[in-house]
Structure 1
């Protein structure tokens, strides 16, 4: 199989920081990344975009970034075409998916997923659920792992209530589903704009809140956990019960909130696999997706509007 792997590939790259529409360029001959002992080489089938991709491109964490030029992209789904000497979980031909950067902000890979091939550590990947397309699988890793990690840190459990701020976004759609179908929440409330309230209901939210009309902190009801995926942490504390917990994924956080940045882990994806294969938890892909590989710049521009429902996916590659 290795003999059929080319030396060069097509990829999207940027060699200076700035807006995606100005700095992201298509390259037709970028070296295929080498594979370390603990890594596999993936023939990329689909990728999903995350806000962290364009924030990184705009130099939001330049002090801890890897050197430019960079191929962006965290989430990937594809087929293993080469395995490192120490890899035991995967073999050539396996369909895999994952978030390829273990530490999101600390020297993420120079060779991201927006390319024909990408290399990733075995521990960051999982076998793709058989019922999901590559595009559906690619939409999941970073956001579903973030949703899960936040709920774990908040010690969420059966019978507790939760309010999800930003329920129709990439992370929020998974927090709602996990809280309801994985943890057994007693009540799930979530915020979204008027036209996305039905999305919240379809995901399992008991109380959809239209943030354009109602202030969630004015509700008489308070919640065991508030999961803030939009950066409204100060307001979130007005909606939590005494002794309850607020978890946020939006820097700079808030002194008494649980703030974290995801550490990617393929075992989370393996743990959730039965719930994905039984369709209890579903990928939520924005209706404008998938974007073709050639329209990656347009996909970023759309993501940057903050209007996407669920995830923006690039599929197929190339």
Structure 2
């Protein structure tokens, strides 16, 4: 039987969607849903804050097979909050990777996209490439975005020399985060500025085809090209998905046959150990989370956050804050 904190309500509110389409047309707010019941080694978390990422609205537009997600899908993969209920097997697992939590613990997590997301008052959290090193030179494409701002700080904290690619508007931000140099993609091509195979790693957070096409001028023969997403126009159709898959396999095969720089497509999935390691690096480096704007947890706020994310011009993360937890 699950163990609850006192004074837990019987219902909650959630923003969700049930069909693919324009986020402005499919997102709804339900203010009277029953609370999830934690089973096994799950815990129930009272949500204090979450965020909107590009993946959220790409899923709404059909970037992931609908049958692999819940019938009612709640956006939000990032969560921070407080544990208010323990599943019946919390603390009983013999697996070293399963942490023990107690009611009142403050936690953060990445949720599984095949499960309901974080934009609800209470949510369940499951309790169960290239190595950057000192002296490396790292090119980060999309350095001012939610992923890029974190990548700049982690690479810098690990002793790498970072070159960030972003617009002139965001150049000062990327420098403050630790980049030694910044390239404004609107005025200069990065492969024209660096032609001597200067880089050990390229971290491409925007899936720039031109960047990959010219990576031979940028990367050392022992280097690594890391891509975290596909071009948006390849995500919403079977033909586009097959083309992207063939493209990725081709890049991997080419890098293997030529014994040149290695190509990696990184697909992020929930991993508590990796999140803890990244957090420790950020703490040691006194790194800061870059937040463009925060929105209130209601339908209007979520739609505003989605619209800002879709614009492609947000600096860092876009937060969703539950009223009463603004700090």
TM-score (norm 1): 0.83
Q: Give 1:64 deviation, angstroms.
A: 5.4
Contact 2:224 2:264 in 1 (8 A): yes
Q: Which has the larger radius of gyration?
A: 2
Any stretches of 5+ residues in structure 1 without a counterpart?
Answer: 124-152
The partner residue of 1:77 within 73, 77, 80 is 80
Gaps of 5+ in 2: 92-99, 231-243, 253-262
Match of 2:290 among 277, 284, 299: 284
Shift of 1:84: 1.2
**SS in structure 1 at match of 2:150:** helix
- d(CA) in 2 for partners of 1:112, 1:179: 29
Aligned to 2:314: 308
Over the aligned positions, Cα root-mean-square deviation in angstroms equals 1.8
Say whether residues 1:192 and 2:166 are aligned partners. Answer: yes
For residues 151-170 of structure 1, the aligned pairs below 5 Å read 153-170=129-146
Q: Does 1:173 align with 2:184?
A: no
Q: Which residue of 2 aligns with 1:240?
A: 219
Off by >6 Å, runs of 4+ in structure 1:
none
In 2: Cα distance, 1:6 partner to 1:214 partner: 56
Q: For residues 168-202 of structure 1, give each alpha carbon's deviation from its aligned partner in whole angstroms, at most 9, with x where no partner exists.
A: 01111111111111x211x2101011110001100
Supply the distance in 2 between the matched residues of 1:274 and 1:226 (Cα, whole angstroms).
23
SS in 1 for 2:294: coil
Contact in 2 for aligned 1:233/1:248 (Cα 8 Å): no
SS at match of 1:163: strand
Structure 2 match to 1:137: none
- SS in structure 2 of the partner of residue 4 of structure 1: coil
**Cα deviation digits, residues 260-317 of structure 1 (max 9, x gap):** 211211112322344444452221111xx21111211111111110110000001125
In the TM superposition, what is the alpha-carbon distance from 1:16 to its structure 2 partner? 1.2
1:115 aligned to 2:120?
A: yes
Pairwise CA distance, 1:3: 5.2
1:265 to 257, 261, 271: 271
1:31 equivalent to 2:37? Answer no
Q: Is the 8 A contact 1:116 1:317 kept in 2?
A: no
Query: C-alpha separation between the residues in 2 aligned to 1:279 and 1:64?
Result: 42
Q: How does 1:3-82 map to 2 (within 5 A)?
A: 4-63=7-66, 65-82=68-85
Q: Counterpart in 2 of 1:96?
A: 107
Whole-angstrom CA distance in 1 between matches of 2:16 and 2:294: 20
Measure, in 2, the Cα distance between the counterparts of 1:174 and 1:235.
20
Deviations 1:61-111 (A, max 9, x none): 12553132211111010010001122232100011011011xx4xxx11x2
Instruction: Assess if the C-alpha contact under 8 Å between 2:5 and 2:103 holds in 1.
Output: no
Q: Is the 8 A contact 1:44 1:317 kept in 2?
A: no
Deviation at 1:234, TM superposition (A): 5.0
Shift of 1:205: 0.2
SS at match of 1:34: coil
1:36 shift after superposition:
1.6
What is the SS of the residue equivalent to 2:311?
coil
Would you say the 8 A contact 2:153–2:282 is kept in 1?
A: no
